[in-house]
């Protein structure tokens, strides 16, 4: 089956053919590091990590760029607030913290969350503040081509002239005159209130460290400009995929596409956007108090479970968080892990434990992932394979069990679930525990075969008291350690 992805710009699922055979160039918007990562940031990173892993599985060499926005209004505002006598500390906040130190501290928090949840590091992760010359060059190109102008009030701002680009609004299929904003020029020196800043002149009260010399006066870059300059430097003026959260389509990606194409760049061949995370059907909001952070999720469940939950929906769908969501994800992961543990023990004892290559994922899994990353359908294939593997183990069909084990481990690796952080384990102690529990389960199976239900229940109760959960099914008994 041909790889097919939904392209936001054309509003259709299209065949994916890379610009350069065998290679894929992918840029997705990273964090504005003005606070702790929220669940939307992490869901987006996991979605594009799944995309990257699948493209690599399909044989492409993928170059991934994920930016860091380390200078913006909110970063400066938080830094300024930290110098006030009545500074109210939030978790991890530092009094009298310079803006660049604050940005770096939060950048490390994002990296920690990405690593914990198995998000692969990108090929390049550029910071906005490291690419000021590239931004100056892009602004000058736009001025020279008649699509940008220095502010009329001499403030040092430079704006993109939206009326100069007749394709403005095409990404989100909006007409300029229907967009929010008055048509008359506003007091900030714009020709049109919908014109957006490419360069922000230095304002009184802002730290001098947050401004750079430019042909238009000291200042700092506008948010939209940063991404255009960075992606062009690392992937060129035309590349395969631009990604990000659905909330970035407008104005960020609309502006990014307009300024890049107005500069003469073909820019992105595909635009891919992941859906939002809601809380019991409602938009998450700090003011409402219905938010849940990645850190809070990780207090409730292991990283592999959180990764499974955040990556289980089709990337374009809304992912709704319910109080039982992590419990349901944990049950799914435990079924998978229960099969793996059972298969490893049985096949090790049989002497037939051999793992295959990465070419062993089922055809149905391939078809699902090729079809616009249909992860729910792919997970269905994964769980079907787990059930088939358990059936094979019960029947003593070790060849089929070994194939199922290899397929399951490869599917987990492709989905990134295997790479989420796991607590360190004592392999010798784990093996010893497995041997003892399996011996108890064998004795319990003998008791059940003799219809000695009292002995069977006694063994189960003993295991339960030790924190071992036994589950009976048509495929036989499986066990796992009780969580919490």
Confidence grade of residue 474 (pLDDT, cut at 50, 70, 90): low
Q: Is the pLDDT of residue 478 over 90?
A: no
User: Among 228, 307, 290, 289, which residue's Cα sits nearest to residue 261?
Assistant: 228
Domain 4-275 in CATH 3.40.50.620: yes
Main-chain phi, psi angles of 371, to 5 degrees: -90, 70
User: Among 258, 261, 239, which residue's Cα sits nearest to residue 249?
Assistant: 258
383-398 pLDDT, tens per residue?
999 999 999 999 999 9
Residues with Cβ < 8 Å from 404, sequence gap 6 or more?
339, 343, 385, 386, 388, 389, 392
Q: Where are the beta strands (DSSP E) in 303-410?
A: 319-321
Phi-psi region of 154 (alpha: psi -120 to 50; beta: other; left: phi over 0): left
**How do the domains of the chain map onto residue ranges?**
4-275, 282-419, 428-481
For the domain covering 282-419, report its CATH number: 1.10.730.10
Query: Do residues 214 and 136 touch, judged by C-beta distance below 8 A?
Result: yes
Q: Is the pLDDT of residue 346 over 70?
A: yes
Query: Do residues 190 and 151 touch, judged by C-beta distance below 8 A?
Result: yes
Q: Is the pLDDT of residue 74 over 90?
A: yes
Q: Is the pLDDT of residue 23 over 90?
A: yes
- Percent of the chain past pLDDT 70, that is, above it, reads 91
278-316 pLDDT, tens per residue?
999 998 877 787 888 999 999 999 999 999 999 999 999
pLDDT, average across residues 455-483: 76
User: Among 300, 336, 338, 330, which residue's Cα sits nearest to residue 469?
Assistant: 338
What burial class does residue 401 get, using C-beta atoms within 10 Å of its C-beta: 0-12 exposed, 13-18 middle, 19+ buried? buried
417: its two tokens: 């679930």
Predicted local confidence at residue 416, as pLDDT:
96
Predicted local confidence at residue 434, as pLDDT:
66
- Percent of the chain past pLDDT 90, that is, above it, reads 74
């Amino acid at each position: 089956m041909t790889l097919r992805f939904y392209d936001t710009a054309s509003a259709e699922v299209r065949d994916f053919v890379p610009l350069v055979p065998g290679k894929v160039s992918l840029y997705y918007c990273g964090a504005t590091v003005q606070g702790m990562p929220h669940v939307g940031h992490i869901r987006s990173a996991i979605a594009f990590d799944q995309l990257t892993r699948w493209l690599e599985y399909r044989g492409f060499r993928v170059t991934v760029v994920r930016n860091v926005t380390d200078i913006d209004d909110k970063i400066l505002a938080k830094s300024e607030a930290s110098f006030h006598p009545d500074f109210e500390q939030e978790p991890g906040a530092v009094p009298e913290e310079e803006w660049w130190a604050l940005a770096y501290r939060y950048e490390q928090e994002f990296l920690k969350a990405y690593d914990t949840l198995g998000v692969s590091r990108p090929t390049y992760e550029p910071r906005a503040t490291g690419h000021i010359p590239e931004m100056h060059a892009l602004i000058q190109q736009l001025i020279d081509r008649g699509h940008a102008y220095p502010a009329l009030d001499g403030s040092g701002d430079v704006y993109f002239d939206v009326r100069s680009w007749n394709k403005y609004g095409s990404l989100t299929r909006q007409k300029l005159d229907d967009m929010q904003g008055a048509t008359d020029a506003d007091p900030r020196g714009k020709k049109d209130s919908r014109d957006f800043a490419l360069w922000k002149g230095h304002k009184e009260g802002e730290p001098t460290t947050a401004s750079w010399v430019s042909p238009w006066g000291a200042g700092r870059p506008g948010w939209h400009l940063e991404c255009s300059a960075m992606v062009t430097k690392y992937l060129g003026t035309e590349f395969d995929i631009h990604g990000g959260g659905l909330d970035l389509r407008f104005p960020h990606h609309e502006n990014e596409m307009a300024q890049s194409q107005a500069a003469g760049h073909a820019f992105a061949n595909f635009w891919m956007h992941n859906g939002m995370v809601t809380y019991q059907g409602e938009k998450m909001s700090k003011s409402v108090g219905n938010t849940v952070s990645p850190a809070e999720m990780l207090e409730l469940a292991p990283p592999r479970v959180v990764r499974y939950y955040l990556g289980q929906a089709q990337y374009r769908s809304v992912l709704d968080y319910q109080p039982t969501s992590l419990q349901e994800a944990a049950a799914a992961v435990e079924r998978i892990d229960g099969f793996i543990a059972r298969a490893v023990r049985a096949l090790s004892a049989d002497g037939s434990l051999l793992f295959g290559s990465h070419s062993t994922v089922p055809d149905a899994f391939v078809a699902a992932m090729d079809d616009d990353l249909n992860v729910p359908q792919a997970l269905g294939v994964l769980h079907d394979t787990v059930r088939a593997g358990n059936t094979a183990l019960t029947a003593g069909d070790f060849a089929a069990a070994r194939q199922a084990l290899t397929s399951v481990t490869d599917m987990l690796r492709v989905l990134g679930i295997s790479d989420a952080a796991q607590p360190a384990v004592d392999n010798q102690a784990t093996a010893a525990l497995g041997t003892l529990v399996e011996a108890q389960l064998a004795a319990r199976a003998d008791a059940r075969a003799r219809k000695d239900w009292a002995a069977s229940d006694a063994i189960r109760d003993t295991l339960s008291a030790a924190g071992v959960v036994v589950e009976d099914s048509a495929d036989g008994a499986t066990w796992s350690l009780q969580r919490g």
